[in-house]
Homo-oligomer: A and B are copies of this chain.
Amino acid sequence: MISESPYKKHYEYEIDEIEEKIKIDSFIKTHRKTVVIQGLGFVGAAMMAVVSNAKDSIGDVLYNVIGIDLPDAKNYWKIGMVNEFQPPINSADPSLRRYYKNAKITSNLMATYSEYVYEVADIVIVDIHLDITKNSLGDIDNVDFTYESFLESMRAIAKKVREETLILIETTVPPGTTEKIVQPLFKQVFKERRLNTDRLYIAHSYERVTPGANYVASINNFYRVYSGINDLSKIKAREFLETIINTKDYPLCELKSTNASEMAKVLENSYRALNIAFIQEWTEFAELSGVDLFEVISAIRKRPTHNNIMLPGFGVGGYCLTKDALLADWALKHNFNGDKKLFYSTKAIQTNDLMPTHTFQLIKKEIVSLPDVDLVIMGVSYLSDVGDSRFSPSELFYELCVAEKVKVHLHDPMLSYWKEKQLEIHQDLSLFSKMNVKIAVFTVNHKEYSRLSPDEINLIFPRLELLVDASNVISDDIASKLRRGGIKTIGVGKGHWK
């Protein structure tokens, strides 16, 4: 496998397979179980932290933890990071580094590219991606999905694992995947390997990991749902999860089937996405009728039955809410022969994908001629106080601006480079004072933005004509002070700003 890497020359772990095996064998302490975590991304990185820090009742570490990822351009460096006990992702959560430091002290964490690890695994946790691709933003009927690379990874495991190894799938998959796709594949390979298929254990359990300051806690201090293809798979999954999760405060939740646990994940994300899409039509209603939708929603949220109602906003980004309903819809048709679409769930993806268009339209109504106007997008990340630009709604907004020949500048205190667009991002607000910025758009509610006073805004943007608050960043008071200074203000969901 390593010979396939185009980066072989630069690859610091360029040792041959035998050496890697020796390394793995010498790493393993035989009185502990070995947990292999496949995929060193956003979830795998947190799982490595939590599993390597798991201890028994007398304080001894429980597991040998080995992360595995491909030695390709996108991933090879993560292996090196983990072997140096550095988290392979950036996180605003300081406890992540602490967990990796602990693992250095207890020497029970390593990473590799070698599939040999599956041979020594008691548990393999699957944390790789399974994507669905939109060919055109907002076009929910034009998407591409294939199990191909996911199944390649599953086959790699099936070819190596021993009988009785627990395969724990954490990847968000189309419902039906574990039972109808993964299980038959393992059975087939086990038969080829003359292994006992009665000793095949596969479980599905989904994490609810969230970026930000509570990243690690969102794994080990939160509710967990799981199921398995048979009773023993469920028991093994439960026994493992009990050792890594604070089940005293967050009791485990076992479901009847992996179909159910897979469905739970995509359903909860679809619920969230729909409730964001729903508020968009009320946002536009509030703007037309002079209503402050934020105070309205705050009044509604007092009802315990309505405390999940969402706030108006700029758009929806990230890896989950932008796609999970599409995975579910794909599964309904292809895994269960359904003849209807998941109407609301998929429609919400469309609404949310196109949501930034609304902010752009508000600006167009206010500014007669956009070409050559200097505009700053304040926030490239998809989430406040997080440096994560995956599927950021700022992307569509940026493209709409560029199409109208707006001179776009970017700012984000959490990001210096926009990977997806390959653009530099300013991190210093004072830079803008020398520019001729006419329009500033708050797209993300970063703390650095919400702390700005009217005077500071005036200093940063001395020639500002229009301030657009698409993410509830500035208060009514600040907006009215800016208006008195001759700056127009528009707020998404803020019909009372005149």
Q: Give, as a whole number of angstroms, the nearest-CB distance from A245 to chain B.
A: 13
* Cβ-defined partner of A345 (8 Å) among B260, B263, B278, B303: B278
Mask, A253-265, CB within 8 Å of B = 1, is 1011101110110
Contact B278 A263 (CB under 8 A): no
Residues of B within 8 A of A348 (CB): 344
Contact B281 A345 (CB under 8 A): yes
A457 within 8 Å of B (CB atoms): no
Main secondary structure of the interface of A (DSSP, over half): helix
Given A264-B296, A296-B255, A296-B263; A285-B225 close (CB under 8 Å): no
- Please indicate which of the listed interface residues A175, A268, A299, A302 has the most CB atoms of chain B within 10 Å of its own CB: A299
Given A208-B303, A278-B271, A308-B308; A259-B289 close (CB under 8 Å): yes
Contact B268 A274 (CB under 8 A): no
Contact B256 A336 (CB under 8 A): no
Contact B289 A176 (CB under 8 A): yes
Contact A264 B300 (CB under 8 A): yes
How far, in whole Å, are A307 and B308 apart by their CA atoms in the complex?
Answer: 7
Look across to chain B and name the residue whose beta carbon is closest to the beta carbon of A338: B288
How far, in whole Å, are A154 and B285 apart by their CA atoms in the complex?
Answer: 26
Q: Among residues 313 to 351 in chain A, which have CB atoms less than 8 Å away from a CB atom of chain B?
A: 328, 332, 335-338, 340, 342-345, 347-348, 351
Look across to chain B and name the residue whose beta carbon is closest to the beta carbon of A281: B342
A292 within 8 Å of B (CB atoms): yes
Q: Among residues 265 to 311 in chain A, which have CB atoms less than 8 Å away from a CB atom of chain B?
A: 267-268, 270-272, 274-275, 277-278, 281-282, 284-286, 288-293, 295-300, 302-303, 305-309
A432 within 8 Å of B (CB atoms): no
Contact A344 B277 (CB under 8 A): yes
Given A256-B292, A268-B309, A285-B332; A299-B225 close (CB under 8 Å): yes
How far, in whole Å, are A345 and B309 apart by their CA atoms in the complex?
Answer: 14
How far, in whole Å, are A272 and B270 apart by their CA atoms in the complex?
Answer: 16
How far, in whole Å, are A278 and B276 apart by their CA atoms in the complex?
Answer: 13
Look across to chain B and name the residue whose beta carbon is closest to the beta carbon of A255: B295
Contact B257 A290 (CB under 8 A): yes
A496 within 8 Å of B (CB atoms): yes
Contact B208 A259 (CB under 8 A): no
Contact B271 A496 (CB under 8 A): no
Contact B496 A256 (CB under 8 A): yes
Q: Give, as a whole number of angstroms, the nearest-CB distance from A329 to chain B.
A: 9
A150 within 8 Å of B (CB atoms): no
Contact A306 B268 (CB under 8 A): yes
Q: Give, as a whole number of angstroms, the nearest-CB distance from A443 to chain B.
A: 22
A223 within 8 Å of B (CB atoms): yes
Give the interface residue-count category, chain A: 35 or more
Contact A306 B344 (CB under 8 A): no
Look across to chain B and name the residue whose beta carbon is closest to the beta carbon of A288: B336
How far, in whole Å, are A257 and B286 apart by their CA atoms in the complex?
Answer: 11
Mask, A355-385, CB within 8 Å of B = 1, is 0000000000000000000000000000000
Contact A260 B292 (CB under 8 A): yes
Residues of B within 8 A of A335 (CB): 289
Q: Among residues 214 to 238 in chain A, which have CB atoms less than 8 Å away from a CB atom of chain B?
A: 223, 225
Look across to chain B and name the residue whose beta carbon is closest to the beta carbon of A253: B299
Q: Give, as a whole number of angstroms, the nearest-CB distance from A326 to chain B.
A: 14
Residues of B within 8 A of A342 (CB): 281-282, 285
How far, in whole Å, are A253 and B263 apart by their CA atoms in the complex?
Answer: 38
> Can you give 7 contacting A-B residue pairs, CB < 8 Å?
A175-B289, A208-B303, A253-B302, A263-B296, A278-B345, A305-B308, A306-B308
Would you list the 7 A-B pairs with minimal beta carbon distance, nearest first?
Answer: A308-B308, A223-B302, A253-B299, A288-B336, A260-B291, A268-B300, A225-B299
List 20 additional A-B contacts (Cβ < 8 Å) besides A271-B278, A272-B305, A285-B328: A175-B291, A253-B299, A256-B292, A256-B496, A257-B291, A257-B496, A259-B289, A263-B291, A268-B303, A271-B300, A271-B306, A272-B306, A281-B342, A281-B343, A282-B342, A284-B338, A285-B342, A289-B336, A305-B308, A344-B348
